[in-house]
Structure formats: C-alpha cells, structure tokens
Amino acid sequence: MPNVPKTTLCPLCGKPENPQHTPFCSPSCRDRDLLKWLGEGYRIPGPPIEEHDLPGRVDSEDSEG
C-alpha cells in the first residue's frame, strides 16, 4: 500500500488547504481567522481578575489630592 499524502483541511471551513494560504484554503478564511484574533475571539482561560487589578483603573483612595 503506497503512502498517500494526507490532505490537510482548512480549520475554518473544512475545505482542502491551499499551499499559498497554509493552513487555510483561501485568503478569505485566512483573513477571517486574523479578524477573530484581533477581535479577541480566541482567548486562553485564566483565573478571574479582581476589579482593582485592572490596568488603567484610577482609584480615589490611591490618588493624592
């Protein structure tokens, strides 16, 4: 039985990948994936953040004046 190359599928739509857009099948799927990253659609779960630990928060207790 000869070794048949395994076809890799696009992670978004399931079509066979295009070598120019690996691992995606087209520029459209590649761009959709990028937009999902930029829009924080992909997240890594972690422990909850306390409200006072949020960056950029200004507390009246910590300010002088």
* 24-43 pLDDT per residue, tens: 999 999 999 999 999 888 88
| Ramachandran quadrant class, 39 (left: phi over 0; alpha: psi -120 to 50; beta: rest) | alpha
pTM over 0.75: no
Q: Name the residue with tokens 């039985």.
A: 1
* 5-18 pLDDT per residue, tens: 778 999 999 999 99
Domain ranges of the chain: 8-41
Residues 6+ away with beta carbon under 8 Å from 13: 25, 29
Q: Name the residue with tokens 């978004």.
A: 12
Q: Name the phi and psi angles at 27, rounded to 5.
A: -60, -30
Partners of residue 16 on adjacent β-strands: 9
